[in-house]
C-alpha cells in the first residue's frame, strides 16, 4: 500500500510521465514527416514540421533542416533572369 501511494505521488506530479514533454523520437518523427512533405512539394508544411522538431530538439536534425530549407528558399541567382 505504501508503494501505491508513492507511485501515485510520482504520477500526479507529472514526473516520469512520457506525455509531459515531447521526446526526441517525436522530433525524429516530425523530421521524417517534413522530409516526406518536402519531396511531395509541400514546402510550407515541411518547414512547419522542421520548426516543430527544432522546438523540441534545438540541436537536432530538425534545426539543421530548417536552416537549409530557408537557405534554399532564399536563394536567388540574378544571372538566370538575363541569359
pLDDT over 60 at 10, yes or no: no
The better pLDDT of the pair 17, 59 is held by: 59
pLDDT band at 23 (very low <50, low <70, confident <90, very high): confident
Phi, psi of 16 (to 5 degrees): 80, 0
**What is d(CA 55, CA 46) in angstroms, rounded to the nearest whole number?**
14
What is the mean predicted confidence (pLDDT) over 32-57?
A: 95
Query: Which of 1-32 are b and which e, b meaning 16 or more Cβ less than 10 Å from the residue's Cβ?
Result: eeeeeeeeeeeeeeeeeeeeebeeeebbebbe
Q: Comparing 9 with 35, which gets the higher pLDDT? A: 35
Amino acid at each position: 500500500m505504501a508503494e501505491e501511494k508513492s507511485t501515485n505521488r510520482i504520477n500526479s506530479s507529472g514526473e516520469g510521465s512520457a506525455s509531459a514533454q515531447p521526446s526526441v523520437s517525436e522530433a525524429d518523427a516530425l523530421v521524417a514527416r517534413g522530409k516526406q512533405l518536402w519531396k511531395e512539394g509541400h514546402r510550407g508544411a515541411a518547414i512547419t514540421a522542421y520548426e516543430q522538431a527544432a522546438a523540441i530538439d534545438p540541436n537536432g536534425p530538425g534545426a539543421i533542416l530548417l536552416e537549409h530549407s530557408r537557405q534554399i528558399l532564399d536563394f536567388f541567382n540574378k544571372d538566370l533572369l538575363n541569359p
